[in-house]
Amino acid sequence: MTGTIGILTAGGDSPGLNAAIRAVGKAAERAYGMHVIGFRDGFAGLMQNRTVRLDGDSLSGILTKGGTILGTSRIKVHKVDLGNGDKVDMRPMMCRVVEQHDLTALICMGGGGTMKNALRLHDVGIPVVALPKTIDNDVWGTDTTFGFDTALSIATEAVDRLHSTAHSHHRIMVVEIMGHNAGWLTLGAGLAGGADVILLPEIPYSEDAVARSILQRKAAGSNFSIVAVAEGAMSAQVRKRHDELKALIDRCDDPEEEKLLEKELAALHEAERRSTERLAAALEERTGLESRVTILGHVQRGGTPSAVDRLLATQLGTAAVEAVVRGETGVMIAVRDGRPVAVPLSEVAGRRKTVPLDHPWIQSARRLGVCLGD
């Protein structure tokens, strides 16, 4: 089979992207004699027709590199901000670029937002195959995403290292881990790193419940505690107001009232940016133990991908080429029970895989006496 495959990476960078790019490029060229081009900086590069040839030389030596050699960006293909307040549907322009290069398929690598964009492109006739990557592990329809294993190891090591400082200074060490809407990374790192408190977006927390747990440890002779908190974790009070606003916006028919509600919701989100610091201060006040905050931030995305992520990215990348050869597009290549499977994008886009409250990791945490804030 001959033809050309396009690749782009979108959303946040993630360990394993280069391994997936390499897998697509080499499998397409060596197994089927196909050409591969990359679009720079995600969907923006597709819109602007900024390409690079992906051949043997450009694919050599990238397996172990973090980030993405193609660059990335965040845009909505059907609502591209032109900078003057206007938002324009750029999919017709993207269609022309795909036609110009006579692409057999476009492979899009990304998280939840990328899946939505991929479906939007599929809806206007662009043959799309998507690959799930994100350190949050929250893409629906796949057992895991590449990038998660590496980030989990980095976050766990950070929790490990905080133990010695917490023990030496009799402190509460509050470590903020990435995860706006799903707590996979915080839960996994908290369990693996032996955190005493784990706070997730899926479980609204009570500051009083957390403080009581720490005081119980103190009474038992443990003068330190490790609190692992996801960046999207909310107190029960804030979560209640957040959900109320979302429901009001969904039901609202008045454009002016909707703008006011969205403004209040945005203000709530902005205030929550400092929630980890506020939590640490509240715990210090309630327990009498000195508190310190560590925010891991983007360090969780960086560095060399783990062997697990390289293997997963390679498996999914080669499976994506096989899907293209079969003429199977409009799908995401997921992994289920260790095997790649094609899942329709219509089933994936707009859905999020959060931590079930009866998940085995949750059950293990509760049996260990870990406080989950509820």
CA angle, residues 137, 197, 224, in degrees to nearest 5 = 135
C-alpha dist (Å) from residue 253 to 135, 187, 248, 257, 261: 37, 39, 10, 8, 12
User: Which of 41, 86, 102, 136 is an active site residue?
Assistant: 136
Verify whether residue 136 is a known catalytic residue.
Answer: yes
How far is 318 from 142, CA to CA, in rounded Å?
Answer: 16
Q: How far apart are CA 72 and CA 36, in angstroms?
A: 18
Single-letter code of the amino acid located at 166:
A
Among candidate residues 215, 239, 195, 156, the one with its CA nearest the CA of residue 372: 195
List, as one string, the DSSP characters of 110-144.
ESHHHHHHHHHHHHTT--EEEEEB-TT--BTTSS-
Greatest alpha-carbon pair distance for the chain in Å reads 71
DSSP 3-state assignment of 268? helix
Q: Among residues 120, 14, 128, 126, which one has the least CA distance to residue 70?
A: 14
H/E run at residue 38: strand 35-39
Q: Is 87 helix (H, G, I), strand (E, B) or coil?
A: strand
What's the DSSP call for residue 225?
E
Alpha-carbon distance of 183 to 136, in angstroms, equals 8
Catalytic residues: 136
